[in-house]
A and B are shown apart, each in its own frame.
Chain A
Amino acid sequence: MSDVNTTMEHTHAEAHDHAHEAHHENFFTKYLFTMDHKMIAKQFLITGIFWAIIGAFFSVVFRLQLGFPDADLSWLAPVMGRWLTPDGALDPNFYNALITMHGTLLVFFVLTAGLSGTFANFLIPLQIGARDMASPMMNMLSYWFFFLASVIMFVSLFIPDGPAQGGWTAYPPLSYLLGHGMTLWLLSLTFFVASTVLGGLNYITTILNMRTKGMSMFKMPLTIWALFFTAVIGLLSFPVLVAGFILLIFDRSLGTSFYLSDLVVNGQFLDKGTGSPILYEHLFWFLGHPEVYIVILPAMGIVSEVLSVNSKKPVFGYRAMVFSILAITILSFLVWAHHMFVSGMNPFVGSIFVLFTLLIAVPSAIKVFNWIATIWRGNIRLNPQTMYAIGFVSMFISGGLTGIFLGNSTIDIQLHDTYFIVAHFHIVMGVAAFFGMFAGIHHWFPKMFGRYMNRSMAYMHFWVTLIGAYLIFWPMHYMGMAGVPRRYYTFDAFDAFSQFAGMNVFITVVVMIVFAFQILWVANFFYSIFKGRKVKESNPWGATTLEWTTPVNPGHGNWPGEIPEVYRWPYDYNKNGHEFIPQTVPMEEGELEHEETPAPEKVS
């Protein structure tokens, strides 16, 4: 609010900028404090990749601990330093720090900011036909809040008592007892929420107000629909997380006890009164569950788009897709307590949450059916982005099925906090969302950087990741069913779990291989930015959407001339003898819209 006037002056200055392309731009205004949505998208992407490497590296380290608890890790001392005990074992507290950082970084920094931040920024103006976001200034701030959150989280890795160790969910009372790492974690995530809210405000406003002529809501690509509802979910749920954090910060720093009741810690009695940790669980999961859809919806949108373009068939059931996303959005706010079946809630309340949880399977299944129907008998081009998109569908089905097990409270009480949960959410959310992200990056890389990524490396990466992910997570279902709890530093002390020692070794070995191939992908990404094959045509995939009507390297303002007008929906593939008909091509005389059925022929 306070800077509304200055923003206005800025947009005037910018309008000028569009006209005479990239005039007074220097390094700082072009790459750092840029307001061009395309550059901001790249900033989100590259920051996301940075965190993905760190988060994945952490997982390799804690998998080493699980697979080889007796191994001497002192060779890691140069990077891990204090986190190792003198005899080269991983310090148990730092094991907790590693899983906490792994979860936080991947869920929030990579699959929320890195995924939504990248594709919402890049695609919204380009696909709806706008020169930029509604507020480029707010957009820039959104990135810089994310950057600030990143810096704080990064610093927390190096402080003496280590980063946060309370799990990505930061449940009290544990999170109350932790040191400065936890304080920085809360601070960082507060800035992160500020970034998400600013971004989300902008995405929604832009989609509703900045569309080009002819772009009615039901002519928007599914990517835009998905990003739209993602932003809606974020705006409704992240502020509630902030409410939860405020109370936690008060408990930690100002002596209140919203979440704390009388505690005995290390034999010491802490007189804490009458708070309730369950309160935090409610506030956290009111965000936490919608958050998993914030992660997956953008990937779903990308997959719909990629599958349709590359099988040269219209998306099957476009409106059903839109209404499924809407249904998921609504239901995602009504299921949070399925993470709390063992918190002692009233079984009747629990059964209501079971009902809503199982209902989510309906729109999810509709979407899966529609993806398969989209590629069914299509003229499929198995380029990397299509492979990744198919990988997404495979993962989503596998993980969605285990979700239905967990949604039944009677089964969940057995499986809660075991490796079954780890398997469920890594397959359905972690790996699936990554596949969506890979698909999106390969598909829009030519538009982002004017070059192609290397295909052979991509195929290798795809197959190793797909097979590797199943090898890593599939066995975890069995471990979970046998009762192996998650978040344990070691299982040495439990005879019941010794049968899985070999399995743990196997998983760890696969993790290392898969990690190596992720590095290969990152290498491919950066190599291709500078050295990839150059893009010559403006529409290399034969797609219908507006971003492919811009020049190969669109400048600030996206279209050199006027913004094109839109006449048709985005999925006119294989119609009237054309492989594809761009949205900018007017309807022919007598041509039917995709939803109209031809008038019945007159029978004489």
Chain B
Amino acid sequence: MSSKAWGVVSIVLFIIGILLGYVAAPGKVSVSTTTVTVGGAGAQTITKTVTVTGTAAAPEQKEYVIGLAIAVTGGYAVDGPRRRNAAILAIEEINAMLEEAGSPVRLKYIHEDTKTSAEGAIAAYEKLASAGVQMVVGPLATSECKAILDYAKSHHMTAISPSSTGTAAMVKNDYCFRVPSPDKYQGPALAKIIWDQGIKKLVIMARSDDYGKGLADLIEENFKKLGGQVVKIIYDYTQPDLSADVERASSAVANFGADAETGVVIIAFDDDGIKILEAARLDPTLSKVRWFGPDSMKRATFLPPKAKEDIAKFLQSVHFMATTPAVGSKDNPLVKEFIEKYTKKFGESPEASTYAFYAYDAAWIAGLTVLVAHKYDGRVFQKLVPHIAKHFYGVTGWKLLDEYGDAAVPIYDIVAPRVVDGKWTFKTIGKYDGTTKATTFYEQP
């Protein structure tokens, strides 16, 4: 082949390569929105060691250390400090409790910033290890948890994460426990909630990423177990137009019969969600049936002022409801007290951060475990945590753990679009409790 011909071939390959790459590329990660607020209560990012001690040092006083490996810089610069504050509040409460009871034992904490990165998490664990710490609250992200798994195990450091929910850190017999329920519990919960609404036939529209496909499969599996029928439509969320997918959903609903026994589940993020809802609201078939969604649908994107009012009205007209991990449930008496104490101490309500509630429970479980063990040894803690958690009911509910060491009893709030004080919001209208698998509504869905 002549060099000219090679030239032609290489250019054609180059162009095809570009196009192929373009087709094959999984949805690109868009630049995420990060608002950085500086200041505020407890927003300092300096690592510091604080000893919380009682007034009179009794001769036999004993002190146990709890590490806080919580990111307060990087992606968690805003939410991290809130979670750390909640954990500190828990430790102070335990000390106050011990002091009042006349116990000589106290807890102290050491905070290390994991900087929202895998390397940062390992570095924080190394520092805590050199300080002899064997019980740690944190890290926050699934990626950070995954990074410290081996280190924690080999150094006998028991970790309790307040916020990791990803499957990547779902490991049996490890040293990492997780107090929020992982993503996998949302599928069964949603299937049950929908089934309880009298829906027998379900059309699921899900985005083609791990989250969408995984959740769609779980809903399908559980809904079928309950006796229902399911049609799944996995759409490519990178496409500029999704009208063909909406049309398929519409046909599927028409085949099932557009009546009270048929429902639609939409598992979308922002722009794909709007594309679907904008097309669906003009479709008579899809407007006739009930719609449901997971926590990803509880977004300001779908309500005014960000979205058109027409979209919110459509969601309301199809009695849309979404599940979202419950924290601060109205009927949990611990919640009110926590919110009051936290607000008093830090000048801001913990409701700003869902996971501050989990951090509070994580620190309580960590503290109770250390106290019960009476021997400062991570190997002991690792065996104790599941038992302590099983008998623990906190601001985020019952903390029974599953075989992976993750919270097994999910509690989801059920939210629906409503106008409150002239503003559209997702209002909590009910609750799903994994303990009883029962749905309670505070108002008509």
A binds B: no
Q: Spell out A's residues near B (CB within 8 Å).
A: none
